[in-house]
Amino acid sequence: MTAEPTPATPPPGSPPVPDHQAPSALGVGVVVWLASELMFFAGLFAAYFTLRSVNDVWPPAGVELETARTAVATAVLVGVDPLPGRPPPGARLLALLVAVPFHAVIGLALLTASSPVAPDAYPDLSDQRVAAGLFWGTGELFTLVVAAIIVRQWWVADQRAAAREDRLLAGR
């Protein structure tokens, strides 16, 4: 027969020991939001890979992808090394989430257009609609991934600050 361990009681006059058993409402909310975004945009990725598997060339001739500029903007938002005057995680998350309406408005405008906007690149309206859906979906998916990275960085920074505060309180 083993004895149950008894919880350590803090000395009189010390602050109460926080109970770390229950997950925070913010953490649960973030996980639910990330899971819902992942499920929604997984369908768009499935459509993308299906369409790409039946087409010979992608991207079409004459279409240039802005990967270099996108990579620099992403590195500024989630880079590991602190930049001079780097904004706090909340400000970086807000700056990232400002792009969400852009993806939605442009994607919906292209999806609901009655004629091709760029007939040289996408002569068929169905091609434009597929491209608009992919633009909207992939933009939101990458926003979700980068938001998850920023939220994790924020969480780690808060954990470090809490540990630092605990050490300071314990040293009194």
Domain boundaries, the chain: 32-60+90-170
How does residue 6 score in pLDDT terms, banded at 50, 70 and 90?
low
pLDDT digits (tens, 9 = 90+) for 101-132: 877 888 888 888 888 887 877 788 888 888 88
For the cut 70, the answer to whether the pLDDT of residue 21 exceeds it is: no
Phi (first) and psi of residue 119, to 5 degrees:
-65, -20
Q: Which of 139, 149, 143, 140 is nearest to 80 (CA)?
A: 149
For the cut 80, the answer to whether the pLDDT of residue 144 exceeds it is: yes
Q: How many CB atoms lie within 10 A of CB 146?
A: 19
Instruction: Specify the pLDDT at position 60.
Output: 67
How does residue 90 score in pLDDT terms, banded at 50, 70 and 90?
confident
